[in-house]
Amino acid sequence: MQHIGLIGLGTMGANLARNAAKNGATVSIFNRTREKTDAFMQAHGSEGKFILCSTIEEFVQSIPAPRSIILMVNAGKPVDDVIDSLLSPITYHLSPHDAIIDAGNSHFTDTERRIASLGAKGIHFLGMGVSGGEEGALLGPSMMPGGSSEAFHRLEPLLQKMAAKDGSGGKCIAYVGGGGAGHFVKMVHNGIEYGDMQLIAEAYHLMKSSLKMTNAEIADTFEAWNRSRELKSFLIEITAKIFRQNDNLGEGKLIDAIKGAARQKGTGKWTTQSALDLGVPVPTITAAVDARFMSAAEEQRSLVTASMTDLEFSPRKTTLRSIKDALLLSKVSSYAQGFKLIAEASRVHGWNVDLAELCRIWKGGCIIRSSLLKTFEEGFRSQTKMVYPPLIELFRSRHAKWRKVIAAGALSGIPLPAMSASLSWFDGLRSTWLPQNLTQAQRDFFGAHGFERIDREGTFHADWK
């Protein structure tokens, strides 16, 4: 029987502890506030073998060496504080070969820093992305470990039992790569999630504002789309359920009582920042992050709305079929941008991330699980440098409807930032010529930055004046 430790009994931490225990592990638990530990034991103490610990010293001593300790605390300084407490001579030193597993949403650069500092002390560090939300943590998440391979292989038998099924006889867990690979991959997963959610919201906006559909009709549509081979996904599934939820504090459906201002915890922003650092365009994800910021700018939007009451539009209706195609092609674009970002980070950092294997472990448990992942997995396993033919055919046959939907949105005054960004990304990729020759000329004109020519090698400067 495996014996692990877990620090942090928030919703995700508590459910991971319960998941580990129901799969045969002895779990020593500790939380900064004793109230949470007591509440956990009262509610779930009978579900498995838990050892309640009141102090860090008691916690560390309760786990046999070599220890595996999972952290489920907030990213940033709280992780460093817990690590410091585990290493403090005032409490109890961890032993060489012990392992710390950070299963929160830490930034990958923090993970790489911790790997280096703990490695110098002989302690293994694993940065493990965990996706699936509250339910996934308990019933089976998708797990993306990266960092110390020794720490992973020690925990692998238990993690295999805890992970979600991939639908093909395997489990949704695989060693992603060295360094901060695990947390980087989880960060991009969340960036794709941002894009996916925004694209679905834009489809809803079109249904509500352009097609004047009721909540019941919208729910029926998303249910039908979730039965389709192309759009079946967790997010489409829950969207249909959301539109059927009654408001228990008022009349009608709950969706109509929810404020249209979305928050974000940072992983979407981190994805965009990392893409800028690596020079990889991820416009759909960036547009999704911007859309959340825009939704929160309520005062500014109210002022502009009040001054634009006489603005005239030329509404153009679209069709459900066209919206479905626009959503599909935009979703494919968002996933593709995320995979390209992971591939570039893997190349730069030497992580050797297997994109096909990543698709496989995202097919169950995680938030962006969808039927699209099978197509991407097949493409990555085909080992061709060409774009996967089924995806090429998809864009070739449906891009006209995509364009009409975005045009209809613009003419009707309906913002479609992520769909528009997806289409621009696609058009940029398929263009053999882009107008940045003018950008090069401008930079050389005002700053003598030089430019490249199409007819010879080297960098040139012109006497523009």
Q: Among all residues, which ones are annotated catalytic?
A: 186, 193
Give the N- to C-terminal CA distance of the chain in Å, as an integer: 78
In angstroms, the CA 212 to CA 281 distance is: 35
**Distance from C-alpha of 443 to C-alpha of 434, rounded to nearest angstrom:** 16
Q: Three-class SS string for 281-316?
A: CCHHHHHHHHHHHHHHCHHHHHHHHHHCCCCCCCCC
Residue 348: CA atoms inside 13 Å, Cβ hemisphere, count? 15
CA–CA gap between residue 155 and residue 163 (Å, rounded): 12
The DSSP annotation for 196-245 comes to: HHHHHHHHHHIIIIIS---HHHHHHHHHHHHTSTTT-BHHHHHHHHHTT-
3-class secondary structure, 62:
coil
Report the C-alpha gap between 207 and 412 in whole angstroms: 12
C-alpha torsion angle, residues 167, 169, 173, 175 (rounded to 10): -130
Q: Which residues contact 95 (CB under 8 A, 6 or more apart)?
A: 65, 66, 67
Q: Of 327, 330, 358, which Cα lies nearest the Cα of 342?
A: 358
Give the Å distances, CA to CA, from 356 to 281, 380, 382, 416. 21, 5, 9, 31
| Whether the Cβ atoms of residue 130 and residue 186 lie closer than 8 Å to each other | yes
- CA dist 119 and 124 (Å) reads 6
Structural contact between residues 151 and 124, judged by C-beta atoms closer than 8 angstroms:
yes
Element (H, E) at 162: helix 149-162
* 4 three-state secondary structure: strand
Which of 251, 224, 229 is closest to 239 using CA atoms? 224
